[in-house]
Amino acid sequence: MQTRKLGRNGPAVPALGLGCMGLTGIYGEPNEAESIATIHRAIDLGVNLIVTSDAYAAGANEELVGRAIKGKRSAVLLATKFGNVGLSGFKLPEGLSAGHPGYVPQACDASLKRLGVEVIDIYGLHRVDPKVPIEDTVGAMKKLVDQGKVRYLALSEAGAQTIRRAHKVHPLVALETEYSLWSRDVEKDILPACRELGIGYMAYSPLGRGRTAAGIIRDSIPTTSSTTSSCCNRSNRSLERTRPRPRRSRSHGSSLKARTSCPFRARNGAATSNRMLWQPRSP
């Protein structure tokens, strides 16, 4: 597996990463045995950047990842996130919001416990809290680095100016935001900001949540939850304009394919169904 440095200040990471959100049922029925086997196979193949969040299945995804990496921690680069209470459904302590400096260490300690680890390699803010200045949130995250609970910091779904402000408080190694052939908003301001600051780009859903992969049919898209429906509506509109591609052979690939779509190559990066590691070049 090819590796690259994640941003100017980050660790060496594989060109492919494994995003684990789908392993706990957001896009269909979960299968724990298959999911753990998928994570193990990814690690065996060198796809050892494992990405989760406390918001996925209200912490159950982190617990699943923790069980999967038990006994394999030294072989894994572990990334998780906090602050997306709209998805997680967590009830926060009174007086605190998702990005409040008082909540940040609580969220981190809870993730460490669910994952069964002593340190998180990459800790990200899943959604920027509009009630709290980003400097305050990242300042609290910086303390986690100082305490040895976290090695690197990241943001998700942040605008260019927010990224710049956060980066001044503590260097960010990555921004995690959607990027695919049909979701390219980041090209205007956000990718240039990442290049300028030397921040790696982790693109989630680089295959358009599977809609640009082979063998996808519209009638198979689940719409059983508001979360799924909101993303599927946009996917369906895109799919109307997408010419079907030939189905790939089921014999292609390995057990890793059970939870990921076939990878594609992109300039400056490489992709799986959930994560693309983008190494920004200097302008």
Rounded to 10°, the helix 60-69/104-115 angle is: 40
Interatomic CA distance for residues 4 and 6, integer angstroms: 6
Q: Which residues, 6+ apart, have CB-to-CB distance to 154 below 8 Å?
A: 79, 81, 122, 123, 124, 125, 172, 173, 174, 175, 176, 202
Residues across the chain: 283
CB 202 within 8 A of CB 176: yes
Annotated active-site residue 56? The verdict is: yes
Nearest to 160 by CA among 134, 180, 181, 140: 134
Interatomic CA distance for residues 175 and 158, integer angstroms: 8
Out of 27, 56, 103, 179, pick the active-site residue: 56
Contacts 24+ apart (CB under 8 A), 70-74: 70/116, 72/40, 72/43, 73/117
Q: Which residues are the active-site residues? A: 56
